[in-house]
Amino acid sequence: MNSLDKFMENNESRDVASERKATPIFSGVLNYFPDAIASISRCSKKGNDQHNPNKPLHWDRSKSGDEKDALARHLLESGTIDTDGIRHSTKVAWRALANLQKELELEGEAPLSKYNKI
C-alpha cells in the first residue's frame, strides 16, 4: 500500500475518487519535471552508494537529519556541480523533498514510507 492509499484509508470521510483526481502525480509533477526528477533519482542513488555501499536503495534517516542546513549550503552553490558530479541544485531539490516528507509525516498527513529507515 502506497502513501496515497494510506492517506485515503485514514481519511475515510473523503470521497476517494475525487481525492485521487486532486493528486495528479503523473500529469501534475512527473510530466512537468521529468529531467529534474531523473536528476534527483540519480542523486538519491549516488548518495545511497556513498552512505550505504552494497545495500539496496533506501533513505537512511540516521544519516540525514539536517535537511534545511544542507539545502542552504547547496543553494549557495546552485548553478555549479559538486565534487561528486551531482548538481548542487539537484541536491537542493532532494533536500527540499526530504524536508517536506518529514513535515508531512510529523503532521500526520503521510505515513512513514516502507522505503525509509529511521
Reported as a single tens digit per residue, the pLDDT across 57-107 is: 988 888 878 999 999 999 999 999 999 999 999 999 999 999 999 999 999
Answer whether residue 55 is part of any domain. Answer: yes
> In the 8-state DSSP scheme, what is residue 117?
E
Pairing between β-strand 116-117 and β-strand 59-60 as defined by DSSP bridges:
parallel
Answer yes or no: is 109 within a domain. yes
Q: How many residues are given for the chain?
A: 118
- Per-residue pLDDT for 117 more than 70? no
User: Considering the domain boundaries, does residue 64 fall inside one?
Assistant: yes
Q: Does a structural domain hold residue 27?
A: no
Residue 100 lies in a domain: yes
Taking a C-beta distance cutoff of 8 angstroms, is the pair 46, 86 a contact?
yes
Backbone angles phi, psi at 87, to 5 degrees: -65, 140
Domain of 101, in residue numbers = 33-117
**Domain tally for the chain?**
1
CA 33, 53, 116, 74 torsion-angle sign = negative
Asked if residue 41 belongs to a domain, the reply is yes
Kindly state the cell numbers that stand for 92.
537542493
* Contact (Cβ atoms closer than 8 angstroms) between residue 92 and residue 78: yes
Looking at the domain assignment, is residue 83 inside a domain? yes
- Asked if residue 18 is part of any domain, the answer here is no
How far apart (Å, rounded) are the C-alpha atoms in residues 71 and 23?
26
What would the pLDDT profile of 27-41 be if each residue is shown by its tens digit? 999 999 999 999 999
Overall average pLDDT of the 20-26 stretch: 89
